[in-house]
Amino acid sequence: MLTRDQKETIVKELSEKIGDSSATVFTDFKGLGANDMVAVKKELREAGSSFQIIKKKLLAIALKNNNIDLDPKSLDGQIAVSISPDEVTSAKLIAKIAKSNDNLKIVGGVLDGQLLSLDEAIALSKMPSLDELRGQLVGLLQSPATGFVSALQSPQQSFVGAMEAFGGKE
């Protein structure tokens, strides 16, 4: 059983983390084994995210401290909070792990201080990360230049091919 001071410390730290983060994902981990829980925490930690099991009452206080209107009692199951350094990391990793483990489910989230529904939190998990978006942008920026270079080389290649064909008839 936690003492009042321990609970206050947990709420203070969680309030700060939620306030400082871009995204927070709420998960139901009911039925998840100890080894699976360790694996989930490890994978999230390696990606820079945290995964913390917390009582719903303490979560309610931390959310209230950040002006987020959510009653954690409305969330199904045992709740853990994953806080991400960016908008999609936690959601993507939890969704990936949940595909292979039915005992882990996304049940909601917070994005930049705004409450997300279950559907919105799941949609967040399907979005590309910032690095993926940067890669797509670089590809888009390179494609016109690549096409232009190919167009410039095409007549020369055709001309050389025609000359080789003409020269081979002798």
Please state which of the ranges 43-57, 58-72, 127-141 shows the lowest mean pLDDT.
127-141
What CATH number did the domain enclosing 105 receive? 3.30.70.1730
Residues 13 and 32 in one domain: yes
Domain range spanning residue 162? Answer: 129-170
Per-residue pLDDT tens for 90-99? 899 999 999 9
Domain identity same for 90 and 75: yes
Same-domain check for residues 36 and 11: yes
User: How many CA atoms lie within 13 Å of 126's alpha carbon, on the beta-carbon side?
Assistant: 7
Is residue 11 scored above 70 in pLDDT?
yes
Let me know: does 75 contact 56? Beta carbons within 8 Å.
Answer: yes
Q: Could you give the C-alpha distances from 166 to 132, 136, 157, 158, in angstroms and in order?
A: 49, 44, 14, 12
Q: What's the pTM? A: 0.74
Residue-wise pLDDT for 111-129, tens only, equals 988 888 889 988 988 888 7
Whether the predicted pLDDT of 145 surpasses 70: no
- How high is the pLDDT of residue 166? 67
Quick one: 146 and 123 in the same domain? Answer: no
Structural domain tally of the chain?
2
* Lowest pLDDT segment from 4-8, 13-17, 83-87, 142-146: 142-146
- Give yes or no: residues 136 and 115 share one domain: no
